[in-house]
Amino acid sequence: MRPLPLLLAAHGTRDPAGARVVHEIAAGVRAALPGVRVEVAYADVRQPDVRTALDELGPAVVVPAFLANGYHVQVDIPEQVGGRALVTPPFGPAAALVAAAHERLVEAGWRGEPVVLAAAGSSQWRARADVERVAALLAGRTGTEVRVGYATGEPRIAEVLTEGMAVASWLLAPGLFHRIARASGAAVVAEPLGAHPRVVALTVARYRGIIESATRLTGVEAVVGRP
């Protein structure tokens, strides 16, 4: 029995560097799941979209590469999937990725200053609750104050930033939102999570978890790629 393909569903960006990050994550997942076909699709902006990718792939596991449970996760991706695939929870607010954000912050030169957590922004309350949860987890890891600021929506990153604060990026890839974070004026601005090993490992865990859950519920053995 062939394992179900994994479709990594990202937001989409016009910035080529952002698209490269998504493909780097997919490459890491392929290495961790030998025998599993791993493809990339986008909820918006870039092609192929999730609907088109599933037309070609057939039954698959869709892993939403989103750091909060906003509109694309709640509405857009389910509509494009149309019941044709298993869909995992999104990336955020996984504690493993909070650890990755902390590591990116240290890499950028953070030395214990209070932090603004820079997120994309959403009008969805679930997404905002996810970001607040991440801020609380990051405060626990860093032992310092962590405020939330958004690239779009309120409060904006620059509005909550005060002198001496650093910016942690709750962003997956380079693009407009990270440029807004960089323009905030902070001396220390962390890079996006990117293809961090923890991002790759979480993608693999999401895939394996939903396959194993489906197997328990249906009693039908599924094949999961393993090293």
Domains and CATH numbers, the chain: 6-91+196-218 (3.40.50.1400), 95-182 (no CATH)
Res 223: pLDDT = 43
The whole-angstrom separation of Cα 131 and Cα 67 is 8
Residue 119, strand partner residues: 150, 170
Q: How confident is the model at residue 80 (pLDDT cuts 50, 70, 90)?
A: very high
**Of residues 11 and 33, more confidently modeled:** 33
Res 69: pLDDT = 92
Q: How confident is the model at residue 123 (pLDDT cuts 50, 70, 90)?
A: confident
Single out the residue of 10, 206, 11, 6 nearest to residue 89, CA to CA. Answer: 206
Residue with tokens 């860093």: 142
Of all residues in the chain, what percent carry a pLDDT higher than 90? 84
Cis peptide before 78 (omega within 30 of 0): no
Res 224: pLDDT = 41
The whole-angstrom separation of Cα 147 and Cα 84 is 39
* Phi-psi map region of 112: left, alpha, beta (phi>0 left; psi -120 to 50 alpha): left
Res 219: pLDDT = 60
